[in-house]
């Protein structure tokens, strides 16, 4: 008989926590997972999955317009935000149930209340019950960060955007990262007048400069307004419910909503880390070693709460590696090199490996190949929007250091190409591959 109630107690049933729970259970561990809100975590409940559905929905505005050039006569079209919103939330319900079913099928006990750490092998539930476990895994993720300034209480975050009663006529979005640009594209596509406000001087910091510039150009052509070097001073609410946004060095903006997309912070408040000697880093994240172990030998952490790479597939890999290491007897770590990423802007961006600037700084002698083209569909639809693919190689070996794309379906195309970059293939390997014609993907093997 075990000296503990459970072999593993997981706090947080997001992507990393769910994967760790079911894999540990498959190794024979007795597992419980506590979740205070809904099973599935940020990605499934309030992040990448419902957001991607909104991207699909918003893009029909352009698709219906382009359809006329393909012979379709479409009359009487209208859009209902409430229908799209409710269908998206309905799919979230479906996924929440599916995640619960997965855990139940793997004999994982689901505890639907908050849990906090009170000792190296002990947690306390919101109901007051205390539970012991040989190991504790922290997988509580992160939350949107809202800076404090006069009127900041009037701001929304990405969490609330999926529950809006009405589609706003005007929206101010604060931030320059992927969340800001994705929601700017969504709202703009649905007919909202969007202003993106950034305290810095660029969008999508960390992505290749050429792609950032191309997205900015296309977004402005679509009607999205950008204001750079414009920190918030205050927000005032009028009697009619609209908001006056005051920015440094800018004229005030009257808007219906203000959405903050200014980063995410780990969910560590009130977790009880002080009871087990765990101190967070300067970003508020939990430090861990390569096996996801914290400063307390019985406690591990995975996912966004560790602030290594805040991506759902990374959290899943970390949860898997933890379970394999601790319960499977096969120590495993996660390789963080060449992780493909995407921004589901309109058009989307996809990237893997080093940017041109990073490669030049690290290797010096590099070569840049590119394909700047107008997708066939856009040509026929009389849409001027152009795609751009870039490949960065080390010279003289020709090894591919980075691959960056903006254009329709770029994330779908990059996933396969990322395998080649991860495997260390050369530009010659792409040159030796016959093009698949006609397709946008063929530009990958035709770049000069």
| Catalytic site positions | 437
CA atoms within 13 A on the CB side of 160: 16
Do residues 295 and 275 lie in contact, with contact meaning Cβ atoms separated by under 8 Å?
no
Distance CA 411, CA 425 (A): 20
Helix/strand/coil percent split, the chain, to 5 = 35, 25, 40
Backbone angles phi, psi at 271, to 5 degrees: -80, -20
Going by C-alpha positions, the residue among 163, 108, 164, 97 that lies closest to residue 137 is 108
Distance CA 440, CA 448 (A): 15
User: Residues marked as binding for FAD?
Assistant: 52, 304
Backbone angles phi, psi at 32, to 5 degrees: -130, 145
Going by C-alpha positions, the residue among 162, 77, 428, 141 that lies closest to residue 307 is 141
Distance CA 356, CA 202 (A): 17
DSSP state for residue 69 in the 8-state scheme:
G
Strand 193-198 to 349-353 pairing: unpaired
Tell me the three state secondary structure of residue 199.
coil
Distance CA 26, CA 106 (A): 7
Distance CA 419, CA 439 (A): 19
User: Residues marked as binding?
Assistant: 52, 175-182, 263, 304
- Which pair of tokens denotes residue 320? 């898997």
Distance CA 242, CA 224 (A): 20
User: Residues marked as binding for NAD(+)?
Assistant: 175-182, 263
Distance CA 100, CA 18 (A): 9
Distance CA 416, CA 421 (A): 9
Cis preceding linkage at 435, omega within 30: no
Do residues 377 and 436 lie in contact, with contact meaning Cβ atoms separated by under 8 Å?
no
């Amino acid at each position: 008989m075990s000296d503990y109630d459970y072999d593993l107690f997981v706090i947080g049933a997001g992507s990393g926590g769910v994967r760790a729970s079911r894999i540990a259970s498959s190794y024979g561990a007795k597992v419980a997972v506590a979740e205070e809100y809904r099973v599935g975590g940020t990605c499934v409940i309030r992040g990448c999955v419902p957001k991607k559905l909104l991207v699909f929905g918003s893009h029909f505005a352009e698709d219906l317009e382009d359809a006329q050039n393909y012979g379709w006569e479409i009359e009487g079209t209208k859009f209902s935000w409430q229908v799209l919103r409710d269908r998206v939330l309905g799919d979230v319900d479906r996924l929440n149930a599916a995640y619960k079913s997965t855990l139940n099928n793997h004999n994982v006990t689901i505890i639907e209340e908050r849990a906090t750490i009170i000792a190296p092998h002990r947690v306390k539930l919101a109901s007051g019950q205390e539970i012991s476990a040989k190991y504790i895994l922290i997988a509580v993720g992160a939350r949107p960060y809202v800076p404090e300034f006069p009127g900041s209480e009037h701001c929304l975050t990405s969490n609330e955007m999926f529950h809006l009663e009405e589609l706003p006529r005007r929206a101010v979005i604060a931030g320059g990262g992927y969340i800001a640009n994705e929601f700017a594209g969504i709202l703009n596509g649905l007919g909202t007048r969007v202003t993106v406000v950034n305290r810095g001087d660029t969008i999508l910091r960390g992505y290749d400069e050429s792609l950032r510039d191309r997205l900015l150009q296309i977004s402005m052509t679509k009607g999205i307004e950008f204001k750079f070097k414009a920190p918030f001073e205050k927000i005032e609410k009028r009697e009619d419910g609209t908001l006056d946004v005051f920015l440094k060095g800018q004229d005030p903006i009257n808007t219906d909503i203000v959405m903050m997309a200014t980063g995410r912070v780990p969910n560590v408040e009130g977790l009880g880390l002080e009871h087990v000697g765990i101190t967070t880093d300067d970003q508020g994240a939990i430090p861990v070693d390569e096996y996801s172990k914290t400063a307390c030998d019985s406690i591990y952490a995975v996912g966004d709460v560790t602030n290594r790479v805040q991506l759902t597939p990374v959290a899943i890999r970390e949860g898997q590696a933890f379970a394999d290491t601790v319960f499977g007897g096969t120590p495993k770590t996660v390789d963080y090199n060449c992780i493909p990423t995407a921004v589901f802007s309109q058009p989307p961006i996809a990237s893997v490996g080093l940017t041109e600037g990073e490669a030049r700084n690290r290797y010096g002698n590099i070569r840049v190949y590119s394909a700047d083209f107008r997708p066939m569909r856009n040509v026929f639809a009389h849409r001027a929007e152009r795609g751009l693919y870039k490949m960065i190689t080390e010279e003289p070996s020709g090894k591919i250091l980075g691959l960056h794309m903006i254009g329709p379906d770029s994330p779908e195309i990059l996933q396969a190409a990322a395998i080649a970059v991860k495997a260390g293939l050369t530009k010659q390997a792409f040159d030796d591959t016959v093009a698949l014609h006609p397709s946008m993907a063929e530009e990958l093997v035709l770049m000069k």
